Chain A
Amino acid sequence: MTRIEGSVRGDSGRDSPRLTLEHVSIVFGGLTAVSDLVLDVGPGELVGLIGPNGAGKTTVFNLITGVYSPTSGTIRFGDKVLNGLKPHRICHAGIARTFQNTRLFAGLTCLDNVRIAAHQHATGSLADAIFATGRGAADEHAIEEKARRLLATLDLSDVAETRAADLPYGRQRRLEIARALAADPKLLLLDEPAAGMNPQETEALMHLIERVRRDFGLSVLLIEHDMKVVMTICERIAVLDYGVKICEGSPEAVRKDPATIRAYLGEDVA
């Protein structure tokens, strides 16, 4: 419970572990979806992952979060090897994500959506829950308080009791971020957070990502097609094409990289 209270305060000085992918590959049947990928996200860093559709970006997220197990290579978070861990264990280790096509708990309220992600920090046992002991109540109290604070941070307080499915799309995406934050991550994986947002929403989202990263002391790995977002907020960008990393560097360097222009950006962006 101390963790619940302490973490939401946002101790930005905290060192999050470094995520490292060491020569990671995954093969589905005959298809190599990700090939020999070397990538790392340092403490507090904001790294972008871009590339054309089908380049394997979301597969990289699924590898990091344990949905898939790499065919070869090692994924580490700090000293911890993530290979073969179940997704919930990886979340407990401090990695939370959002999904490309939002996967909210559509039938539940926004508050419940966020509270669910805080469940892992509940100290009370099942017995505390069903016999409604003092410890169970204390858990509920801490979790609800934390969830409401996160909803406020993401400007969702007014819809706390609304069903997630009834939110407009842009707010659903924000709710997904609130929900991921409730898991107390040290690394946040955002899969196309700006998809389907209008320009104003996208603008607000950029500030939000910056603010959340600072206030919660997070590292962020971001998949995004909106080049304005990526080029503005990312400190470093990796480009994937057919599962292979073809370029990595600062936004300026990536923008000028011939291979990236050919595979993804096109001539006019540069």
Chain B
Amino acid sequence: MRRVLTIAGTLLALVCLELLLPRVLPNTYYQRILMLCGINVILAVSLNLVNGLTGQFSIGHAGFMAVGGYSAAILSMRVLPPLAAALAAAGLPEPIAEGIVLLLALLAGGTLAAVAGWAVGLPSLRLRGDYLAIVTLGFGEIIRVVITNIDAVGGARGLSGVPRYTTFFWVVLWVVIVVTLSYNLLKSSHGRAMLAVREDEVAAEALGIDTTRTKVIAFVLSAFFAGVAGGLFAHFDAYLNPSSFTFLRSIEIVTMVVLGGMGSVSGAILAAIFLTGLPELLRPVKEYRLVIYAFLLIVLMITRPQGILGTRELTMPWAKKKPLPGGAGGAG
């Protein structure tokens, strides 16, 4: 019951936010950055499941994002319009009809990305460290090159005409979902199994943890959320291009996880917001923008090599300390 109330309350708050946003922040440029922050938070928090929690070094996150983004876009452009029409005909207000279509497209995109994650993860998670990094890097590049060569999805020209369904509400809703589920996982036995794999794979295995399964689970979950983020991104810009999903995109997400502190969910959130906002804040310095950006990154990593939060978590001051499922510090 309390859970239903919480969910209802959250949804209500999000609807209010959505309605208030144009009044509080009429500048669409700022709205755009806010939404990009949200999408990057989803990407960073999801990659944190693999790179931070489970300690596997994956650098192919943009690939999963691309799988989710393109499949969600194709669905809402070519498969779901009849549904949208039917919903509209049934008298649903337009935002709700569009929302339903978007939600279906996102879930399908996420699922396809998760399947891709499973297909890549199952054979490659036997590899460790550098080897896994190379396999995931290869996967990301293969996805990008394949998309570039499929004419049906626009090839190198990109896919235009994706319905612009992504609103502030949907981005924040998914941020809330991804962050909440990550926290739940972190505080659970399954999450600790992932930490065990990160800390010492041999010991974890000897203590009854199926390390391969644990890694694949982390990989699949992470890919699912990356797929959702890709779907949000697709319906945000109304245009997709393979060049949005290059190796550099993956590196950017890895940077967020490392900067935030490996394994820290709140660290990943902070870093994603910081790294999305920083280049925009630096616009006044024009051509020196990227130089300063890089410089700041270097300084940060030298002064705090463990990341902004290390493995710690920010706890909300209003969050009640629960009696038993404790260890809010999770990674300790």
Chain A interfacial positions (CB closer than 8 Å to B): 65, 67, 86-88, 91-92, 96-97, 99, 103-109, 111-112, 115-120, 122, 124, 126, 128-132, 136-137, 139-141, 143-145, 161, 163, 179-180, 182-183
Contacts of A139 in B (CB 8 A): 188-189
Q: List 24 A-B contacts (CB under 8 A).
A: A67-B202, A87-B202, A87-B206, A88-B207, A96-B206, A96-B207, A103-B203, A103-B206, A105-B204, A107-B311, A107-B331, A107-B332, A108-B192, A116-B196, A116-B204, A119-B189, A129-B185, A130-B184, A130-B188, A131-B181, A136-B188, A140-B325, A143-B189, A179-B207
A21 to B326, CA, bound (A): 43
Given contacts A130-B184, A136-B188, 11 further A-B contacts (CB under 8 A): A67-B202, A99-B203, A103-B203, A103-B206, A105-B204, A107-B311, A108-B332, A116-B196, A120-B208, A129-B188, A144-B325
Q: How many residues in B have their beta carbons less than 8 Å from beta carbons of A?
A: 34
On whether the beta carbons of A130 and B332 are closer than 8 Å, the reply is: no
The listed residue (B184, B206, B208, B331) touching A129 by CB distance below 8 A is B184
Identity of the chain A residue whose Cβ is nearest the Cβ of B192 in the assembled complex? A116
Q: Is the interface of A mostly helix, strand, loop or mixed?
A: helix
On whether the beta carbons of B185 and A117 are closer than 8 Å, the reply is: no
Among A103, A129, A182: residue with most chain B CB under 10 A: A129
Expressed in whole angstroms, the minimum distance between the Cβ of A53 and any Cβ of chain B is 21
Chain B interfacial positions (CB closer than 8 Å to A): 181, 184-185, 187-193, 195-196, 199-200, 202-211, 217, 221, 311, 324-327, 329, 331-332
Q: Is the interface of B mostly helix, strand, loop or mixed?
A: helix
Shortest 4 CB-CB contacts between residues of A and residues of B: A129-B188, A91-B208, A105-B199, A120-B208
Given contacts A105-B203, A130-B184, are A144 and B208 in contact (CB under 8 A)? no
Identity of the chain A residue whose Cβ is nearest the Cβ of B3 in the assembled complex? A132
Contacts of B193 in A (CB 8 A): 116, 119
Expressed in whole angstroms, the minimum distance between the Cβ of A174 and any Cβ of chain B is 16
Identity of the chain A residue whose Cβ is nearest the Cβ of B204 in the assembled complex? A116
On whether the beta carbons of A140 and B209 are closer than 8 Å, the reply is: no
A119 to B206, CA, bound (A): 12
On whether the beta carbons of B207 and A117 are closer than 8 Å, the reply is: yes
A175 to B210, CA, bound (A): 22
